[in-house]
Amino acid sequence: MSDKDKDSDNPFEELQKHIQSIMGDPRVRMQGVHAKPAQPAQGSGDGGDGGEDDEEKTAKERLKRIRHFKLKPREVFNQLDRYVIGQKDAKKVLSVAVCDHYNHIRHQFENPDEAKSFEYQKQNILLLGPTGVGKTYLMKNLAKLIGVPFVKADATKFSETGYVGSDVEDLVRDLVKAADGDVDLAEKGIIYIDEIDKIASESTSGAKDVSGRGVQINLLKLMEETEVNPFSQTDMMGQMQAMMGGGGRGKSQRRINTRNILFIVSGAFDQLAKSIQKRIGKSGMGFASDVPEDDQELHRYLAHAETNDFIGYGFEPEFVGRIPVRVAFESLSSQDLAKILTTSEGSVLRQYIRDFENHGIRLEIDEEAIQAIAEKAHNEQTGARGVMSVLERLFRSSKFELPSTRVTELKVDQEFVKNPDAVLEQLLEEYGFDASEERKAIAGFCEQFEQDHGLRIHFSDDALSYLAERTAAEEKELPEFCETHFQDLPYGLKIVSRNTGEKTFQIDRACAENPDREISNWVIQSFQDDKKSEKDA
């Protein structure tokens, strides 16, 4: 059955045609669904909302970039090299494949008749390699460089029918959303599907995964060339909106052709690597020289994957055939992670430097500390994602404590990486708590206390430090917290004042932590001092 015949069986399309045929009958009334009246086209002088005009202008500019695509593979490589460390082979392969694909699209604009007669095999791409090596990040920067819409999804969320889970055609619809509703632009976009190895139809138990095979077949149709309905078969509201002529001014509701959409799929393929290891081991030829004896990492076998390996893994031959470009990513070494920290334009370390700068603190990290952080991240075994985990643990307490101190510079060395809490404790002892903001916040409370009770109170820096911690933990303002926390303070201080004649009191940390206990001690002490003064008299 052809795609055209199959699409004609869509019950929602039949419903749409039926309702359209009877909409002219005045006896028919639609309840619960109200179509907005068609809006006339607005010119520049109509004073209408220019938001959609801006979207159309942006889409036209992006299409213009595709029409005039002139990038060379080396230029693409150099751009990717700014953001992704290592993976030279992967960047070379991607640069060539992407340039070939978008040069072909450019030729379609320049010579449409010639392009129709030219048989072009689309270079869909398969990326193999462990997590955290830059696969997704590479693709995002690639799409940004070219100026095309980009959609990323995990293969595990799809089902064969789309009723349980998502339909693979939703990827194409999401591409239209990423193109701000411009179908022409969406038809030149990039769809990136991660965890593709999870839909292999041969499970580890040896039983066939029928749903995985069905998803592969549905993806195969998209990769070849098909036309996708702009609304899902389960999207009843979308179907009704299309029937009513909705979708917004200038937003085409025509079907989306997938001929020029570039599909890039990726996965870790751990089990495949083991299978290739067995195959290579049996042949006993050549591979030992490719991998150093001290670095027999399993993923390196993926560079030797062949078509039969993927078929044996559980992929349909036709599906594998539609992904002719295959490239294996390498695991990141500690040296690679150190370069990511220092030279990558997308380094997360820059984010931490800015976070501290926002509080007036300059963050400096020496080379030994960089290497120590990279070693810790490498031990995480999650690639570049391990860098974020290590940095978060390393600076967690410092980002909380130091903004409230007089510290203006934080120097990170190897000792800090080994024991950040000990170094932080030394800094807090040396620079102390900066109570200036808290003192301003509590000034009103102190003034009101003196007006109401005729007694003057002052808070030590240690007391304000404790109160700042409590208010932050309870998400309360300092004056509001003090009203409740020190509600019995006036009664105790008045007794002390009557016995001693004191009118000014210092609230230290002990009193801030447990005011009832401390004030009770002060009252007892004041009575003892009062009796002693009577005896002396």
User: Where in the chain is CATH 1.10.8.60?
Assistant: 335-431
Other Cβ atoms less than 10 A from the Cβ of 488: the count is 12
**pLDDT tens, residue order, the chain (537 aa):** 444 444 445 555 565 555 555 445 444 444 333 333 333 333 334 444 444 555 566 778 888 889 989 999 999 999 999 888 889 999 999 999 999 999 999 988 888 877 677 778 889 999 999 888 888 889 899 999 999 999 999 988 887 554 445 688 899 999 999 998 899 999 999 999 999 998 886 544 344 454 678 889 889 999 988 999 888 766 555 556 555 555 544 445 688 999 999 999 999 898 898 888 888 875 544 444 454 443 347 888 898 999 999 999 999 999 999 999 999 998 889 999 999 999 888 889 999 999 999 999 999 999 999 999 999 999 988 888 899 999 999 999 999 888 878 899 999 999 999 999 999 989 988 886 666 778 888 898 999 999 999 999 999 888 888 898 888 888 888 888 999 999 999 999 999 999 999 999 999 999 999 999 999 999 999 988 767 666 665
Partners of residue 130 on adjacent β-strands: none
The total of other beta-carbon atoms located within 10 Å of residue 43's CB is 8
Find, among 179, 171, 176, the residue nearest to 221 by Cα: 171
CA distance 21 to 17: 6
Topology classification of domain 60-201+211-228+256-281+292-328: Rossmann fold (3.40.50)
Secondary structure letter of residue 243 according to DSSP: H
Other residues' Cβ atoms within 10 Å of the Cβ of residue 418 = 12
Letter for the amino acid at 354?
R
How is residue 508 written in tokens? Answer: 């230290």
Q: Which residues contact 510 (CB under 8 A, 6 or more apart)?
A: 518
Q: Tell me if 218 sits within 8 A of 211, measured CB to CB.
A: no
Q: What is the DSSP string of 306-319?
A: -HHHHHHHT--HHH
Give CA–CA dist 48/178, Å, rounded: 24
Tokens for 497, please give them: 């004042």
Amino acid at 125: I
Residue in 471, 479, 520, 515 with CA at minimum distance from that of residue 496: 520
Q: Concatenate the DSSP letters of all residues of 462-494 into one string.
A: HHHHHHHHHHHHHT--HHHHHHHHTTTHHHHHH
- Burial of residue 374, with CB atoms counted within 10 A of its CB: 0-12 exposed, 13-18 middle, 19 or more buried: buried
DSSP 298: G
* SS3 of residue 166 by DSSP: strand
Residue showing tokens 């970039």:
65
Start-end of CATH 3.40.50.300 domains in the chain: 60-201+211-228+256-281+292-328
| One-letter amino acid for residue 498 of the chain | R
Q: What is 335-431's CATH topology?
A: Helicase, Ruva Protein; domain 3 (1.10.8)
Complete DSSP assignment for 15-60 = HHHHHHHHTT-TT----S--PPPPPPP--TTS----HHHHHHHHHH
Residue 134, beta-bridge partner list: none
- Work out the number of other CB atoms within 10 angstroms of the CB of residue 34: 8
304 secondary structure, DSSP code: G
Could you tell me if 80 and 142 are in contact, meaning their C-beta atoms sit under 8 angstroms apart?
yes
Alpha-carbon distances of 510 from 43, 60, 83, 464, rounded to whole Å: 71, 68, 52, 11
User: Would you call 14 helix, strand, or coil by DSSP?
Assistant: helix
